[in-house]
Structure 1
């Protein structure tokens, strides 16, 4: 199996919100998408990053606040469909899209892939569907980014067979085997958003763990640092979020051979690309 990481737009955010003691000056945080090529299933995406329609979706009030809080930049050549087309991949070639969670910077491209099966957490979808208005906005949901036929094309992570993880994944012990062949193992990483999952895969003899927004940067893994209390507003559960960070920090400490990739970490992205070229 083969994996590329694609940089699909970025947002600007003060580092101090993500790591206590960081600078209040806005920094760039990339939206990272995983493009897998599975020998049997063809192309599988991990999230979709930003899309131009994020700007339409955040045009009206109160959605405009989302744009103010995390200003987004996406140049034409960074658009996911453009990057895929440059590699000769059409949108209908993407058969499956794994959704780590339903925040706008992870699902803004879903509408570009009308043929894909969506794989997500049932509780994540329910939580988004239940929230409306300001309560949806505070939790980072923009409903008009969702395809209308989503429910007809979804497969829930929780319906996949359970899988016992090897001891070198401690303190994580349980996963869901998405395609029942051990190739994609979904691991719950709760706290950042409802039904938030990461994906563990083996790429060329290396274990790669895409962890979505379980933490924002690699620095967090090394120091197990806490975000600014302001960040707690958007979290689904602060205690679970801290617990997940602690577990990831433990995994990082125990097993340096696993490559852990947070969805917004520029240094993880650059190192992965350098290593796999």
Structure 2
């Protein structure tokens, strides 16, 4: 049996122009819009997803940390962290405690942690998984390191000293509109696909259960409605690339019933409980 569980690790507010950017603006203007915006979205969940599979337990993303409330955690010089995010994560909200409440030892009971990308709210929980296989796309790994990574929203200075993930390339068989895949399980029922746009090398994970398919989308889109409306987030480095990703997810869902599970969609748990497929 294969199942998926949403595990919430706190919440985040972002600027409305971050959640849905002006698609007729160039990249620099879209990002300036995010900094000038003074409104906030409602608190959005920070979801990770736990997949139970006959080969073991797999976690998609590691969530955020309560240390974001500590002075100096974010780089003082970075305008996005000063102006663009409002994070609320209690110590018990972190992925380690959340998994322990489910009877899971985060550092012993998982077959792998797969990261959609290395932005802070997807990778700050890494310290819980020192002895666990951690998988990230090679392109995203290269884009997230050093000053370049920090500018783009990753926090490599907070990565654990032991962090040396398995960096994957995509050479597996085609899956619908996704030309290349990467198997996560030996039976091929969990596999990664390339979903760039929000960040270089962003990936998503497809889970084919017995009765439906789950698409663990990370930040490929912030919610189902945005995908259906073909609206790209303000952080995207390239609107055309992001739109191609949204269209590929929609095309994939038309070929097989697919439950869309982004990282910050307030309705994701409801759709998951009902196994309600995407209609795009």
- Provide TM-score, normalisation by structure 1: 0.83
User: 1:19 and 1:161, CA in 2 relative to 1: closer, same or farther beyond 3 A?
Assistant: closer
Residue 164 (1) aligns with residue 170 (2): no
Residue 249 (1) aligns with residue 250 (2): yes
Residue 31 (1) aligns with residue 46 (2): yes
Q: CA deviation at 1:162?
A: 0.7
Residue 72 of structure 1 aligns with which residue? 87
Q: Which of 115-124 and 54-63 deviates more?
A: 54-63
Cα deviation, 1:213-264, whole Å, max 9, x if unaligned, reads 111111112211244xxx2xx4333321222123333444x24721111111
Partner of residue 218 from structure 1, selected from 219, 224, 227: 224
Residue 262 of structure 2 aligns with which residue? 262
Contact map agreement 1:58 1:67 (CA 8 A) in 2: no
Residue 141 of structure 1 aligns with which residue? 154
Partners of 2:150 and 2:63 lie apart in 1 by 18
Contact map agreement 1:208 1:261 (CA 8 A) in 2: yes
Q: CA deviation at 1:73?
A: 0.5
What is the root-mean-square deviation of aligned Cα atoms in Å?
A: 2.5
Residue 87 of structure 1 aligns with which residue? 102
Unaligned segments of structure 1, at least 5 residues? none
Q: What SS does the corresponding residue of 1:163 show, helix, strand or coil?
A: coil
Contact map agreement 1:49 1:107 (CA 8 A) in 2: yes
Unaligned segments of structure 2, at least 5 residues? 23-37
Partners of 2:5 and 2:111 lie apart in 1 by 16
Residue 124 of structure 1 aligns with which residue? 140
Cα deviation, 1:174-222, whole Å, max 9, x if unaligned, reads 3111233212111000111121100001234210011111111111122
Residue 98 (1) aligns with residue 114 (2): yes
User: 1:60 and 1:244, CA in 2 relative to 1: closer, same or farther beyond 3 A?
Assistant: closer
User: 1:256 and 1:265, CA in 2 relative to 1: closer, same or farther beyond 3 A?
Assistant: farther
Partners of 1:54 and 1:204 lie apart in 2 by 39
Q: What SS does the corresponding residue of 2:98 show, helix, strand or coil?
A: helix
Number of residue pairs the alignment of both structures matches = 258
Where is the helix percentage greater, Structure 1 or Structure 2?
A: 1
Q: Which of 53-62 and 184-193 deviates more?
A: 53-62
Contact map agreement 1:35 1:45 (CA 8 A) in 2: yes
Residue 114 (1) aligns with residue 157 (2): no
Q: Runs of at least 4 residues of structure 1 off by over 4 A?
A: none
Q: What SS does the corresponding residue of 1:248 show, helix, strand or coil?
A: helix
Residue 193 (1) aligns with residue 209 (2): no
